Chains A and B, each alone.
Chain A
Amino acid sequence: DQQVKQNSPSLSVQEGRISILNCDYTNSMFDYFLWYKKYPAEGPTFLISISSIKDKNEDGRFTVFLNKSAKHLSLHIVPSQPGDSAVYFCAASARGGSQGNLIFGKGTKLSVKP
């Protein structure tokens, strides 16, 4: 039973264009959402997060949008760079994220081509 779903296993984008990675969740108790980035042979690293009281959070080239009614969030990367090529994991938690019990999606592999 996947509570966090990333339905696109891979995405290919041209350098300079926008990358949009999508994530859906089923548990209405989730109130905190995070995106992690993972390079091969490395652990996931935190990228950006959003609380359920917001619908948008921006950090440089990265913006996360949250649509609670649709139980959907997306990560926008603008402009995309070759160094952004990695696997991106969406994660969610309940109770404000303080317990650390993050539920992860399967990840989307982003390839940014020069």
Chain B
Amino acid sequence: DAGITQSPRHKVTETGTPVTLRCHQTENHRYMYWYRQDPGHGLRLIHYSYGVKDTDKGEVSDGYSVSRSKTEDFLLTLESATSSQTSVYFCAIGTGGVFSVQAFFGQGTRLTVV
């Protein structure tokens, strides 16, 4: 299995509190991605990074921020969690370039906002 780890795997938090999810890779891949998965919507891209300190928005970025200070770590922050952000969050890594693919996905973080 690819060296990609998400933490925590499960979290319950209260509305209005900040939450940070971590994605850690040991593959030295340039690209890292955060997705959310909800019933009826499939997987949707939140943010992605194409290098240290280089990030860009995806389809559903409102309410989320990201940071990448090291190649191996990509953090997703919900500044003030809302119930609509209850979801399963997946991190992915990829090599980028012409054949850029989200090659490997983490096991997911199940976040519940109450």
Say whether A and B bind each other.
Answer: no
